[in-house]
Structure 1
Amino acid sequence: MFVETMLQEDLKAIERYYGDQGFINAKILDVNKEIVFDQDEHLNKMVITIVIVEGEAWTYAGMTFNGNRIYSNEELEALVLQQPGKTFSSTKFQIDYQRVSDLYFENGYIFNTFTYEEKRVEERREVSYIVDITERDRAHIENIIIRGNDKTKSYIIRREIPLEEGEVFSKAKIIEGTRNLYNLQFFDVVDPQPYPGSSDGLMDLIIDVSEGKTSDIGFGLSFSGGPDFPISGQLNWNDRNFLGRGQVLGAEVNVSPDVQKVTLRFTEPRILGKRWSGGVDVSWSHDVNRRINQDWDGNGLPDPYNTWEEYDAAGRIVPEDYQMEYKSHYVSTGVNTGYTWVTRFGRLGLSTGLRFTWEYVDYDPTVFRPHNQDLRENLENWKYDDSISFRLSWDTRDLQFDPTKGFVLSENLTFAGLLPVSRRDYIKSITRFNYNLLMFNVPVNDKGGAFKGTLYFNTAFSGLFDKPWSDTIADRQRDGFYIDGMFVGRGWDPSSGYRYLWDNTLQFKFPLVPNILAFDIFLDGVGAWVATRGQFDSSNALLNMNINDWRFSLGAGFRFANPQFPIGIYLVKKFQWDLKGNINWNPEPDLTEFKNWGMDLVIAFNMNIY
C-alpha cells in the first residue's frame, strides 16, 4: 500500500545517503508516479521514478572555530572525529558539530549560540566549515517546577533529578533524570524544558509529566503441554506508587491443581531519600508435590534400586510407579534490603534478604515412605527452614522494562540453614547475563512513530551445592532447579530435580503497538544435569556434557508488552540432537498439542524475570 509520508521519508534518506558519500550537490529533481494494472495479481500498482542529479564527490577539509575562549581549539578539535582528506559525510559533520555544542551545554553554557559557515574550494572539490561561537556565562538553575503530577508527590519526582536549585545546568543530568523518571513506570510522558529565569544567567527547569496507571488489578493464565497439563491462574493487585509516595504495596493469588498461594508485600524503594530499598512480604501456600522418590526397604537408595551402581546405570531415573506425592502447607515471611549506586558505567546494586519458612507435611504413612528423612520427620508436624541471600548486579540498560540497549550482569547466592534447627542445608548460585541491542529503528510517520527491532539475549547458569562444612547432602528434588515448559525450555514437558541448569534464550522483539503488543521470534536452549556422585559427579557431568544434554525450542508469537499484564502466546517447535549428531524434530511425540505440525502452544504470564 502506498503511503505518501513514507515516500517522503525515503526521499530524505536518499539525499542523506548521497551527502554521506561526499555528493553534497546531489538533488532529487523530480518524482514521477505512474499507476499500472497488474494482470496477474489483478490490482493497481504504482511505479515511482526518481530523477537525481548526483554531481561530484567532495573531500572534507576540516573544521575550525572562532570566538571560543572557555575551551581551546585543541579541546574542541579533539571532539571532531571526521578526518580531513577523507570523503565528506554530512551525517558525521552534524554529529561532530553537535558534540562540540554539547560540551558547552553539558557544562551549563546553555545560552551560547553556535553558527557555521561552509567554505568550498571548487578546483579541489574540498569543503570545510568555520564554527562561530558566542560564549556567555554559565546558566544556574533558579527554580525546578513540576507540573502535571496529580497523584505523585513532587519530592518523589525531584529526588530522581540529579540537579538542585542553585546548581549549574547540565544537559547530561537532565537526560539521566528523565531516564530515571521513565524507569519508575509512573509516567507516560516526561518533558523537561528550560526557561529564562528572573535575571541573566538564571533559568527555570520546568518538568511536565503525564501520569500513567500505577494501580492495577490483573488476571493471568498460564499453561504448557505435559502429562500433568500444568495450568495456573493468577489474580493480583499492585500499586507501584502507593499514596503517591513511590512505595509498592501488592497482593497476589496463584491457583493451580498443584499450588495455591497468597502473598502480601510492601517495598520502600528510597529509605531516608537514598537509593536504599527495604521490603517485607508474607505468604501462605498449599502444594501438591509429585514424583517424590520412596525408600520402603530403608537401604538409603530410592526404590527399586539396591546399589548405587544400579542407580547410576539407570541414569538416576526412578520409574513413576515407585514414586509418591504428598501435600504441604507453607507459611513464609521475608525481609530484604539493598542499595544502588548510579555511576557513569551503569547502576551497581547490592542487596540481601532473609527468609523464614514453616512447613507442614501430610501423606498416608501406610501407603508411602519418602526417601528423604526430613519428609518422614515432617509428617503432620510444622518444621522450620531459613535462608539468607545476596545479589550483586551491574545494570546498563536504558529502560528497565522492554529495554533497547544495555546489559545486566548479576550473581545471586543463597545460603540455606542458618540455625541448627533448619532442615535444609545448601548453597545455591544463579549467574545471569542479559543483553539488549536495538537493531533498527525505521520512522513510519511524522509524529515520531517508528518500527523497531530489538535483539535480546539471556543466559543463566544455576547450581545447587552441598555446604563444604556440612555433612548434609542438598535435596535436589525439593531445592533443585526445574524446566517448567513455560519460561524455561518453552514447550517441553516439565521436569524437576536438577542440580545444574543452563538456560539460554536468543529472541528478536518487534513492537507492533508500543507498550501494548509485540511480536517475538525466539530460540531457547536449556541444559539440565542430575549430579551427585559416581559417574554423575558434578565435575564429570559438566565437563563431559554433550549436545544430547540440551533441549531446544524454536518459536514465535505475540506478547502483550504492558508492564502490568505481560502475557506471551507462542507456537513452539521442539527439537534435540542425538549422540550421532542427528536432529530429532519431534522428541516428545505423545506430548505435542498439534501433532500434524509437531508443534506446541505455550501461553505464559508474568514473563519478566527481573
Structure 2
Amino acid sequence: MNIQNLYYENGYTSNRFATDINKDAESKVISYTIRIQENPRSHIENILIKGNEKTKDFVIRREIPIEEGDIFSNAKISNGMRNLYNLQYFSAVSPEVLQGSEENLVDIVFTVEEQSTTSLDFGFTFSGVSDPGEIPIALTARIQDSNIFGEGKLASVGTTLSTNEQSVSVSYGQNWLFNKPISTNVSLSYSHSNNYALRDKMLPSGDIDNDYYYMQYEQNQFSLGLSLGHRWTPNFAILTLSGGVTSSLINNLYDDSLWIPYDTSISQYSDNWEPRNSIWTSFSMDGRNISWDPSSGWFASQRLSWYGLMHEGFLPF
C-alpha cells in the first residue's frame, strides 16, 4: 500500500493500519475506510554488520549515510546499499530491519558477501614494427588490490615489455580522508621507448638529404600524478568533483648533429631532462543503481585539462 510506504519512508515503522470494506449492494459501490494508528517515529538503535571477514566494519559503516540514534529512513538505507555495491568489495548486500529493544526502536542489519578485490592480469599484443629486427609482441602484467588489509585503500603495479617500449607504473589511493568522502591518489611511472619521426630534409650541416624521411630517437619519461576529489551522495545521484596535476620529466636522445625533427616538441626535450606539466578537473553525476554493472539509471561527466600553465623558462612545457 502506497500510504504505508510513505509512512515507512518517513520513519513511521510502528504504525498500525486497518482497512474496512464497505459494500453497497443497491448502488453497486464499494468503498474503503483506512484507519491509521500513528505512533512516534522510529529511531535507529543499532547498526549491525555481518558477513565481512576481510573488510573492516568502519569501511562499511562510513558508506551508510545513517547513524545510530537517527530517525529511520528507507531512502538512506537504499543509498547505503548503492554505496556498498559501488565499492566492488561485495557480491551481495542485504539490509534487514529488526525490532529493537523498545517499540519505536529498530535495528538495521547489513549482511554482506565479500568477493575478491585482488586482480592479476597478464596479456600480450601483436603490432606492426618499423624495424624488421624487432619482435612484434608486447607483454603486459598488472596486479591490483582495491581493499588493502580490508581498509578500503587501493594499490596497483603494472609493466609493459617489448623490444621498442618498456614501462612500469605504481599507484596508491583511497576513497576517504580525515573520515570524509575525499579521495586521493598518487601515481608514479617510468617509460622508455624507441620511436620514429619525420625529419627536416636540411641537415644541421646545411646539406640537403632527400633519401631519408624519418629519424629515430629514444625517449625516457618519468611521470608523477596527484589527484584529489570529493563525493556527495544525495538520493538522486552520486556527485563527484575531482582535480589533479601531472608532472613529467622527458628526455629525447638522438644525434642532433645529424637530424632535425619536424616536431619541435621532440627537439625541445633533446638531450636534457625537461618538465611537462598539466592540471585537470572533472565533475560527474552518476544516477546508476550500480556503477560497474548498472541495470538502470544514467551518467554524465565532463573533464577539462590545461597544459602550459607557467611561463616557459620557469617550468618549460
* TM-score for the superposition, normalised by structure 2: 0.85
Q: CA, structure 1 residues 186+304, in 2 after alignment: closer, same or farther (shift >3 Å)?
A: farther
- In the alignment, the residues of structure 2 paired with residue 363 and residue 125 of structure 1 have an alpha-carbon distance, to the nearest angstrom, of 96
Paired position in structure 1 for 2:42: 139
- Quick one: structure 1 residues 371 and 199, their matched pair in 2 at CA, closer, same or farther if it must change by over 3 Å? same
Structure 1 unaligned segments of length 5 or more: list them. 1-96, 306-320, 425-610
Question: What are the within-5 Å matches in structure 2 for residues 453-464 of structure 1?
Answer: none
Amino acid of the structure 2 residue aligned with 1:296: K
Match of 1:155 in 2: 58
The equivalent residue for 1:172 is 75
Determine which of 268, 271, 276 is the counterpart of 1:380: 271
1:282 Cα shift?
A: 0.7
Q: Deviations over 1:204-248 (max 9, x none)?
A: 11111111111222223456x778798643211111111111111
Cα pair 1:251 1:262 within 8 Å, conserved = yes
Any residues of structure 2 matched to 1:202-217 within 5 Å, and which? 202-217=105-120
* Distance (Å, rounded) in 1 between the aligned partners of 2:22 and 2:242: 58
Distance 1:423 1:375, change over 3 A: farther
- What is the Cα deviation at residue 119 of structure 1? 6.3
- 1:108 matched to 2:14: no
The question of whether the paired residues in 1 share the 8 Å contact of 2:143 and 2:156 is answered with yes
8 A contact 2:14–2:103 mirrored in 1: no
- In the alignment, residue 94 of structure 2 is paired with which amino acid? D
Find the aligned partners of 1:123 and 1:293 in 2 and give their Cα distance. 96
Q: Does 1:326 align with 2:232?
A: no
Q: Provide the residue aligned with 2:199 in structure 1.
A: 294
Amino acid at match of 1:196: Q
1:362 and 2:253 are equivalent in the alignment = yes
- Aligned amino acid, residue 96 of structure 2: Q
Secondary structure of 2:294's aligned partner: coil
- Give the drift of 1:108: 1.0
Separation in 2 of the partners of 1:160 and 1:393? 19
Higher helix content, 1 or 2: 1
Q: Distance in 2 between matches of 1:202 and 1:226?
A: 68
Cα separation, partners in 2 of 1:131 and 1:231, compared to 1, 3 Å: farther
1:235 aligns with 2:141: yes
Q: Please name the residue that 1:9 is paired with.
A: none
Residue in 2 that maps onto 1:7:
none
Match of 2:167 among 251, 254, 261: 261
Cα–Cα, structure 1 residues 227 and 256, in superposed 2: closer, same or farther, change >3 Å? closer
Change (3 A) 1:274 1:132: same
Q: Is the Cα contact below 8 Å between 1:374 and 1:423 reproduced in 2?
A: no
- Once the two structures are TM-superposed, the CA of residue 128 in structure 1 deviates from its matched residue by 5.8
Give the AA of the match of 2:99: P
Given residue 276 of structure 1, which amino acid in structure 2 is its aligned partner?
I
Q: Does 1:397 align with 2:273?
A: no
Question: 1:248-278 CA distances to partner (integer Å, 9 max, x unpaired)?
Answer: 1111112345432211111121111111111
Other structure's SS at 1:271 match: coil
Shift of 1:377: 4.2
**Alignment partner of 1:177: what SS?**
helix
Identity %: 35
Could you tell me how far apart the structure 2 residues matched to 1:365 and 1:263 are?
Answer: 30
Q: Identify unmatched segments of 5+ residues in structure 2.
A: none
Q: Does 1:276 align with 2:167?
A: no
1:324 Cα shift? 3.6
| Compared CA separation, residues 201 and 227, structure 1 to 2 (3 A) | same
Evaluate the alpha carbon distance shift between residue 384 and residue 135 of structure 1 in structure 2; reply closer, same or farther with a 3 A threshold: same
Distance 2:226 2:80 in 1: 29
SS in structure 2 at match of 1:406? coil
From 235, 239, 243, give the equivalent of 1:344.
Answer: 235
1:410 aligns with: 301
Q: How far 1:371 sits from its partner (Å)?
A: 0.8
Q: How does 1:5-20 map to 2 (within 5 A)?
A: none
CA-CA distance at 1:366 after TM superposition? 5.7
Whose RCO is larger (CA < 8 A, sep 6+)? Answer: 2
CA contact (8 A) 2:247 2:278 kept: yes
In 2, the alpha carbon distance for the partners of 1:117 and 1:202 equals 29
Structure-2 change in CA distance of 1:402 and 1:254 (3 Å): farther
Q: 1:139 to 1:368 in 2, by over 3 A?
A: same
Q: Write the deviation string for residues 160-217 of structure 1: whole angstroms up to 9, x where unpaired.
A: 1111111111111111101110100111111111111112211111111111111222
What aligned pairs does 1:42-191 form with structure 2 within 5 A after superposition? 97=1, 99-114=2-17, 116=19, 129-191=32-94
How far apart, in 1, do the equivalents of 2:306 and 2:239 lie? 22
Taking structure 1 as the reference length, the TM-score comes to: 0.46
